[in-house]
Amino acid sequence: MHIILASQTAEEVSTFNVVGDLKGSEHPEQVVIVSGHLDSWDLGTGAIDDAAGVAVALEAAELMQQLHLRPKRTLRVIAWIDEENLGRGHLEYAKVHAAEIGQHVAAIESDLGASHPLGFRAKISPEAAARLQPVLEVLRPSGANLLLLSSIAHAFAGTSIKPFLPDPEGRVPLPHERDVPADIGAGASLSSADHLIE
């Protein structure tokens, strides 16, 4: 077997999270984050991991605007930086927002591609999961009502807020596959993901 690895660590550069808010009507101080991340790695183009997640988060806010819906809490759309390596984007966010972190009600990241979502993986207590049952019932007709609980001890890398579970039918290529076209997220699967996140 002959393997050629072309990976390299480039010089450090300054980069920034991209953040936008839709202010809440009743509790603007309370924040719900919907997000994806900007960086990619390996052989992939970043189309699935995670341009699709950024598109889903942006589209959630766009749909609210188009439908003239104003959230009760502030909807904060974030495109994280450095999710793949050290997670400096979410670490810096937590540092900058330390004083109001208790006002963050939920943090959602779409990071598992653009296929039809099956549900959520949540880092919450079983008691808190019961509060999500009405949401899961609304999502049942779309087939996106699966809820898997994950403990803090089994934290994910990166921002650790991964909501969508991959479609087992594998209709979308793996996130780090070589030559995934940059527009792979376009179409029905991505549309179903952003309707779920709204």
Looking at the 3D structure of the chain, how many domains does it have? 1
Structure-token match 């898997």, residue found: 148
* 141 part of a folded domain: yes
Q: Region 173-186: what's the mean pLDDT?
A: 45
pLDDT 10s digits, 66-89? 999 999 999 999 999 988 888 899
83 is catalytic: yes
pLDDT 10s digits, 96-105? 999 999 999 8
* 172 part of a folded domain: no
Q: Is 70 exceeded by the pLDDT of residue 90?
A: yes
pTM of the model: 0.75
Q: How confident is the model at residue 47 (pLDDT cuts 50, 70, 90)?
A: confident
C-beta neighbour count of 22 within 10 angstroms: 21
Range of the domain at 138: 18-167+180-197
* 85 part of a folded domain: yes
What is the spatial distance between Cα 188 and Cα 194, in angstroms, rounded to a whole number? 10
* 148 part of a folded domain: yes
CATH code of 187's domain: 3.40.630.10
* 7 part of a folded domain: no
- Spatial contact of 118 and 165, defined as CB atoms under 8 Å apart: yes
Residue 42: C-alpha distances to residues 80, 105, 114, 177 (Å):
18, 33, 18, 8
* 9 part of a folded domain: no
* 86 part of a folded domain: yes
* Those residues with Cβ within 8 angstroms of residue 53's Cβ, 6 or more apart along the chain or in another chain: 35, 36, 37, 109, 110, 111
Q: What are phi and psi of 33, to 5 degrees?
A: -95, 130
Active-site choice (59, 83, 84, 109): 83
- Spatial contact of 51 and 36, defined as CB atoms under 8 Å apart: yes
* 13 part of a folded domain: no
